[in-house]
Amino acid sequence: VNSISISNRDRIDPFIYKFQFKNVEYSSGRNKTLLCYLVDKGNTSDGLLRGYLEDEHAGTHAEEAFFAQCLPHCNPAVKYTVTWYVSSSPCSTCATKIAELLTDRKNLKLNIFAARLFEWEEGEIQAGLRTLHAAGCKLRMMKPLDFSYTCDTFVENEDQPLNLWEDCKENYEYYHERLWLLCGFHLLRVIFRT
C-alpha cells in the first residue's frame, strides 16, 4: 500500500501552478507532477469530469493515481475521451502502464499535453514515449494558449489574470522540436522503413 498523499482538490494554488508548470528547460526543484484532467464520457448525463492530482515522485505517480482514483472502471458501452495537462511528461514505467491500458480499453482515448519533457535525453524515457505514441496516445507540448486555458480552468481565481513567463513560447518551441525528433521522426522512419 502506498502511503503517499494524493490530493484531489478542486483548484490549484496559483503559486504552485506557476512553479510546477513553468516550461523551463531545467526543472530543478520541481520534484512532483501536477496532473489536471478532463474526462468526457460522450453523451452520458455524467457530463465532464474535471479535477487535478499531484504527487511526490517518491510514491504513486499521478498518472497511475488517475486510473486508480478517477477512472478505476470503464463502461465498455461508453466512449471516454481523457485529456491531461501535466507539468511533465510521464516516466518510462508510467508510459508503459498507460500504453497497456490504452491497448486493453479500446473505448478510451487519451490526449496528454505536457509543459516539459521529463528526462528526455534518457533512452528508456524515449522508448516509453514511443510506446505511448504507438498505443494511440496523443502527446503534445503545452502551447502558451494551453497554459492560459489550464489557468482559467484549474487554478484558483486571482484578481489579476496570470501573466505567462516571457520565454513561454520559446520554451514550448524547444520542447516541441525535441518531441518531434523523438516521436514524429521515429514514426516517419517506421512508415517509410528507412
Name the minimum Å distance from CB 50 to Zn ion.
22
Count of all residues that appear for the chain in the document: 194
**Which triple of cell numbers denotes residue 59?**
510514491
- For residue 38, what are the β-bridge partners? 50, 83
Name the minimum Å distance from CB 94 to Zn ion.
3
Rounded to 10 degrees, the C-alpha dihedral 61/127/26/142 comes to -80
76, 106 contact by CB (below 8 A): no
SS3 at position 144: helix
Nearer to Zn ion, 67 or 147 (CB): 67
Burial class (CB in 10 A: 0-12, 13-18, 19+), 146: middle
Residue nearest Zn ion by beta-carbon distance: 94
Nearer to Zn ion, 17 or 63 (CB): 63
Nearer to Zn ion, 91 or 168 (CB): 91
Nearer to Zn ion, 41 or 130 (CB): 130
Binding positions for Zn ion, rule: CB under 5 A = 61, 91, 94
Measure the CA–CA gap between 65 and 98, rounded to whole angstroms.
Answer: 11
Name the minimum Å distance from CB 126 to Zn ion.
15
Strand 48-56 to 108-116 pairing: unpaired
Check 63, 64, 119, 177 and give the catalytic one. 63
63 classed as catalytic: yes
**Which triple of cell numbers denotes residue 85?**
495537462
Active site residues: 63
